[in-house]
Structure 1
Amino acid sequence: MAIDGMNHFTVLTSNLEQCKAFYIDVLGFTEGYRPPLASSGAWLYAGNQPILHIMAGRPLPAQAQGIIDHMAFTASDLQSVINTLNQHNIKYELRRQKDSQTWQLFCYDPDGAKIELDFSANEPEPKGISNTTL
């Protein structure tokens, strides 16, 4: 067996519209085709690839399932992302990897899922990073 790539993540939400607004308005995903399923939800796309499946309509588990710590996405335009997060009063932490100089930005979705956005080392240092603690 060989793994060829990542297919998608699924997140559970207690509020579908709020969750969609975060991933679409803040992170820039687009909503796309979702097959007719029994549960409510949405499929969010990066380009032509459905990357994030949101499931609603069932209670969030009292205890976290599994051991996944966070979802990481490759991103671009760090300054624009910082501006958008600041506009939405979303707390984040921005780090720079020591060896690669890759920018790493961490934040949380409305239901508490941890998100990592990785930006090229070539991106300029952003301005207005006053909201950098989680």
Structure 2
Amino acid sequence: MFDHLNLISHDSAQTRRFFSEALGFAPGWRPPFPFPGEWLYRGDDAFVHVVESEDPRAGIATLGHIAFRTDEAPAALIARLRALGYAPEVRRVPERGDTQVFVRLPGGLLVEIDSDADPALRDAPVFGSGGSGEP
């Protein structure tokens, strides 16, 4: 199931304004990630995650990643991805503890697959805390 788009923008205020005024999205709660950004909601769902670009000269917003949500156990998902030849990176969301599995496709697209917190993965790094390299 689709979860959200992550947009990297050189002008996050203008991006927020467009999604708010043109499409009815509203800013809302966001975990305390260690980088600037905001989540834009429709109802209870944060469909658009905007991150401020570190390079204001970039000029063009880019797709940081596309995210989906699954009810599948993270361990089963991770095993399947590894069997398919991918190298998933596992993180937890600050405060909530949700499991995030990141996979970079050969063409460069970053896919995030989210699930509820998994006690078996409680030792996975919290996103933004470093680890073997942020996705």
Instruction: Tell me if TM exceeds 0.5.
Output: no
Q: For the superposition of Structure 1 and Structure 2, which TM-score range results when normalised by the shorter chain?
A: 0.3 to 0.5
Q: Report the TM-score, using the length of structure 1 for normalisation.
A: 0.41
Which has more strand, going by share of residues?
A: 2
What's the TM-score once normalised by structure 2's chain length?
A: 0.40
